[in-house]
Amino acid sequence: MNLYEKIVNREEKVSLIGLGYVGMPIAVSFAKKTDVIGFDVNKEKIELYKNGIDPTKEVGNETIKNTTVDFTSDEKRLREAKFHIVAVPTPVKEDRTPDLTPIESATCTLGRNLTKGSIVVFESTVYPGVTEDFCVPILEKESGLKCGADFKVGYSPERINPGDQEHRLESIIKVVSGMDKESLEIIAKVYELVVDVGVYKAKSIKVAEAAKVIENSQRDINIAFMNELSIIFNKMGIDTKAVLETAGTKWNFLKFSPGLVGGHCIGVDPYYLTYKAEQMGYHSQIILSGRKINDDMGKYVAECTVKKMIKANKQINGSRVAIFGVTFKENCPDVRNTKVIDIIKELEEFGIEVKVVDPLADIDDLWREYRINSCEIDEIKGMDAVIFAVPHDEFKSTIHLEDLGKMFRSSGQMHIDSEAMNEVAATSECITDINGKVLIDIKGIFNRKEAEDMGFLYWRL
């Protein structure tokens, strides 16, 4: 009887190391088929799960209450499992080089508790070679076991899309790989327990690692192209969304749209690939160019906001701007590496007071990461501009153009701040004395014509 059969018969357990937006849904899915130990070093998070609370909002409180996952922060419990899945973040450092600290720490923890006959599968996004060249030596050192003889490894890149209730673990083809034929077959069968649409067996671990890192790099480049187009069309006075809708009528036009590209995947993964390429003596041209465009979009949005405020005859220094949405993407509470922060910082450089509204954002992470508190919608009054940065469904269903007028400053005409004007007016349109309500709708959730007919000075990417 091999390991797969023992897992199915509940004679052996599966462990998940890292219970965030990726690891927790995987643990919950496997718990429907087998015995699962869910491990995370964050004791507060474990307590939330034990109390039936889902801070990620990926599966919901009711599912967490009813799951049979054995949540724990005691690393010794990992010794009870034989099939281990490591799903921890892989961020970048300040210099935009890979930060392997989380995966190193998780691998050390697992290594200390690894037993003979185990299989370890890494899901974290990495550059090709990390699993075999970086993680395996750590496992061997910490466990005193030999890879290939005492335990085996594989790699299966995570494809869960946080906040997306349509593309889930069960409905996305799962790429799997193993260090040899035996481990590949077992890993494939174990994942087939929970992935309804089946698995794809990669030729090797490095191939699977490379496939994952280029998935997000490709998307990053395509969005960068859209962002560059939006900058060009903005200068031409052409509406980018209208252009893309028109071009999209052709069957083979790729329907990407401009926007802020943050988070812990698309905004990070390309740096892993280019880092490894540079180690091999190749300096990326397309990938890094796209990344630079996307990294600069928060600053660009802030500058365009200020230009619109100047056109509306607003005094910049001391003005007030409300930003709706601060998470890295819509319908998700995750604020890690959100590019909305770049907008906030740039506006504050102009002396602007910024208020943030985001009912979905994890308020603890928001304060811990950025020292920002989220306001309630009814607190947003007396604004000089309003920015819709993240198109949460909740915003689209509850906030209408008629509601926005009440959020703006009702006082009379304001004078232009000369210092701020000199800084940005060189590339701005002619200043007009219209004293309008500035509405920045980054993703275009409102109807442009309706907004302009209602007197809003409207702008979007």
Report the chain's terminal Cα–Cα distance, integer Å. Answer: 58
> Number of helices and strands (H, E) in the chain?
18, 13
Q: Please indicate whether residue 265 is annotated as part of the active site.
A: yes
Question: Quick one: CA torsion of 140, 143, 144, 147, rounded to 10 degrees?
Answer: -40
Exposure string of 393-410, with b = 16+ CB inside 10 Å and e = fewer, is ebbeeebeeeebeebbbe
What lies within 8 Å, CB to CB, of 397 at 6+ separation is: none
Contact 313, 413 (CB under 8 A): yes
- Report how far residue 212's alpha carbon sits from residue 159's, in angstroms, rounded to the nearest whole number: 8
Identified catalytic residue from 265, 304, 332, 430: 265
- Report how far residue 176's alpha carbon sits from residue 97's, in angstroms, rounded to the nearest whole number: 26
> Of 81, 165, 89, which Cα lies nearest the Cα of 123?
89
Contact 227, 297 (CB under 8 A): yes
Question: Quick one: CA torsion of 356, 361, 362, 365, rounded to 10 degrees?
Answer: -50
Kind of pairing between the strands at 174-178 and 151-155: antiparallel
Sequence-ordered strand ranges (E) for 158-241: 174-178, 199-201
Give how far Cα 89 sits from Cα of 97, 98, 391, Å: 14, 11, 25
Kind of pairing between the strands at 13-17 and 81-86: parallel
Instruction: List the catalytic residues.
Output: 265
